[in-house]
Amino acid sequence: MESLLKVALAQIAPVWLNKSETLKKIENAVTEAANARAELVVFGEALLPGYPFWLALTNGAAWDLKINKELHAHYVRNAIQIEAGELDAICQLSKDHKIAIYLGMIERAKDRGGHSLYCSLVYIDQQGQIRSVHRKLQPTYDERLTWSPGDGHGLQVHSLKQFTVGGLNCWENWMPLPRTALYGQGENLHIAVWPGSENNTKDITRFIARESRSYVISVSSLMKKEDFPIDTPHLNAILKEAPDVLANGGSCIAAPDGNWLVEPVRYKEGLIYHTLDFNRVYEERQNFDPVGHYSRPDITKLTVNRERQSTVSFED
């Protein structure tokens, strides 16, 4: 059964900007997925502790505006510092249940001083070990007002049964060269995480599947107006401009031929399951393989810098 992999797509809403309560919700979803015999569970972009929706609702680009400073500070306090052990409970669940996890989160990176934020995609293997932390290379549009640009260190793939899995955050999936960096390492199960919208997932999911001849899993979060906690700073100002639905989901799975296995699911909160058959990858690589027989590395070749970037290096 090494060729079969049961996956779970966790399309859930965060307890917005509350990391302790959102962690509990994630832990419950991991346990539920494991009890359903899933071997991989995927969570949406920035789910822990939530996407920075306020930027589009509070004049987020206004210089020196107090509301944006205070919301940013609240965001920093609820971001995750991996070095402090804040993912230890999830790693233990992964180990106990032998389930791999892709988790979208906001990282307060200690190796960059501990004050700036990165939109990170964390892979935890079935032994409960964190194997990669991919910091989003290029935050999109207003995200740049609160997230910092990442580096190539997390452009890594991982073995999971017969599959080779890799992942990117949101609009990174539109970037041809990061996709190629994963393809070149043998990726055949691509994970794309999103804050939550079928408008994002309905086209790119099938496109990447057809380009790479791989399975593609897109996982989005949910967010409704009533999901904002009542203790959110400046809640009234946020709600005044917020639409009723800020993230409608759209989680889905495409097969290596680009056809739907699970069409985009909207508005529904919960876990979505499907079993993938690795043999479909070999079938579709017969006539196209973007980094194998249908490539010309003597003419075009990609160079990737995977060094973790830091402002300071010490020689003690």
pLDDT tens, position by position, 233-253: 999 999 999 999 999 999 999
Which listed residue (136, 143, 172, 284) is catalytic? 136
Q: What is the dihedral of CA 192, 194, 198, 201, to 10 degrees?
A: -20
pLDDT digit string (tens) for 4-18? 999 999 999 999 999
pLDDT digit string (tens) for 240-298? 999 999 999 999 999 999 999 999 999 999 999 999 999 999 999 999 999 999 999 99
Q: What element of type H or E holds 147?
A: none
Rounded Cα distance, 202 and 263, in Å: 8
Which listed residue (39, 45, 107, 187) is catalytic? 45
Is 4:62 a contact under the CB 8 Å cutoff? no
The predicted structure's pLDDT at residue 273: 98
pLDDT digit string (tens) for 131-178? 999 999 999 999 999 999 999 999 999 999 999 999 999 999 999 999
The DSSP 8-state label assigned to residue 256 in this structure reads T
Which listed residue (86, 107, 161, 170) is catalytic? 170
Strands 40-43 and 100-108, by their bridges, are parallel
1 pLDDT higher than 90: no
Residue 160, phi then psi, degrees to nearest 5: -145, 100
Place of tokens 């993230």: 247
What the block records as the tokens of 170 is 């949101």
User: What pTM does this model have?
Assistant: 0.96
Q: Is 86 a catalytic residue?
A: no
Residues of the chain above pLDDT 90, percent = 97
The predicted structure's pLDDT at residue 313: 87
Q: Is 136 a catalytic residue?
A: yes
The predicted structure's pLDDT at residue 114: 94
Rounded Cα distance, 194 and 249, in Å: 9
Residue length, the chain? 316
Give the residue, 80 or 310, on which the prediction is more confident: 80
Average pLDDT over residues 20-37: 98
Is 127:153 a contact under the CB 8 Å cutoff? no
Q: Is 45 a catalytic residue?
A: yes
Please give the mean pLDDT across all residues of the chain.
Answer: 97
Rounded Cα distance, 183 and 181, in Å: 6
**In this structure, CATH architecture of domain 4-285:** 4-Layer Sandwich (3.60)
